[in-house]
Amino acid sequence: MLATMFPIERPRRLRRTRAIRAFVRETSLDAGDLVYPMFVVPGRGVRRPIDSMPGVCHLSADEVAREAARIHELGIGGVLLFGVPEQKDPEGSGAWTDDGVVQEAVRSVAGAIPGLCVITDVCLCEYTDHGHCGIIEDGEVANDPTLELLARQAVSHARAGANMVAPSDMMDGRVGRIRAALDDAGYDQLPIMSYSAKYASAFYGPFRAAAASAPKMGDRKSYQMDPGNAREALREVRLDVEEGADIVMVKPAALYLDVIRMVRDEFLVPVAAYQVSGEYAMIKAAASKGWIDEERAILESLLSIKRAGADLIMTYFAPDAARLIERR
């Protein structure tokens, strides 16, 4: 049967010129699909390169505003802000004070660059001295007492002018609690992008070095997902959708393309994916050795994440990718 089809079907006919390849390309990448994560530190005029993430810097609020303007000019849809405060404490109080690092950065960006979507990470691990994403009670990360603090953090970001909040802590019930708190405070139009299927991954290493947020004791396996589980991701997504998540996220991205596809097929809400620090660092490291072509690896990795079903992608490559897309 196959033999009789040949040579009638010749897939290579549609691969011979750039123009035809473009006609038949099923997936495309747009700068508007990308979100650029940034690390906010205290101070003014601070622009400090991060060792574990070549090309990424710690930025003070004023520098975040400058960088965000460039990001917007490149056609990138949004920025995602993480805070790296000077002081950390057991309750992560720097997370929800109105004069926190992220709140200040949001104020300096949100008004100044209309059209750019300013998203804030909602989680305690960058602010707690023990490095866990919730508060500790009896030697465990305590779920329900943490929810109140996350809700306060989200409302504080909203007050500063955030356009979207993104809880990444993986406590049960946090989307519902944050939604209720936002609604109560008058922010019923503010969307929640939930890190719904966030795995306990080795690939967050460079981020944790950048945010000094590695847990001081234990690990995150009691709240982040087991890498062996895919059906459980659907459960997590279902719960978040029921609690009011507007966008659901799978994280990391490239190692979990099957999960992105399953979520895309099973749910109608938009799907986000996070190309995490370790995915970024791997490409950067191999490229610096001359082992892979960095530009092609950037575009191929992002295109594959879209092909798997992601509508939007958080990526440290956003500025590079936007320039490459433009040039193509």
Give contact residues for ligand PBG (rule: CB under 6 A).
121, 123, 125, 168, 204, 207-208, 276-277
**Residue 251 annotated among the catalytic residues of the structure:** yes
CA distance 57 to 82: 12
List 82's β-bridge partners, or say none.
Answer: 39
Write out the two tokens for 22.
């473009």
Q: Is 62 or 286 the residue whose CB approaches ligand PBG more closely?
A: 286
How near is the Cβ of 168 to ligand PBG at its closest, in Å? 4
Q: How many CA atoms lie within 13 A of 35 on its CB side?
A: 26
3-state DSSP assignment of residue 230:
coil
**In this structure, how many other beta carbons lie within 10 angstroms of the beta carbon of residue 307?**
15
**Residue 161, token pair as written in the block:** 């002018």
Question: Alpha carbon 195 to chain centroid distance?
Answer: 8
Tell me how far, at minimum, the Cβ of 131 lies from ligand PBG, in Å: 8
Reduced to 3 states (helix: H, G, I; strand: E, B; else coil), residue 314 is strand
Least Cα distance to 203 among 265, 141, 257, 255 occurs for 255
Q: How far is the CB of 10 from ligand PBG (least distance, A)?
A: 43
State the catalytic residue, choosing from 251, 284, 289, 306.
251
CB of 13 or CB of 216, closer to ligand PBG: 216
71: amino acid identity, one letter: I
The closest of 300, 324, 315, 259 to 27, measured between CA atoms, is: 300
Residue 207: CB minimum distance to ligand PBG, A: 3
Q: What does DSSP assign to residue 30?
A: -
At closest approach, how far in Å is the CB of 215 from ligand PBG? 8
3-state secondary structure 198-224: EECCHHHHHHHHHHCCCCCCCCCCCCC
Question: Would you call 198 a catalytic residue per the annotation?
Answer: yes
Question: What residues are annotated to the active site?
Answer: 198, 251
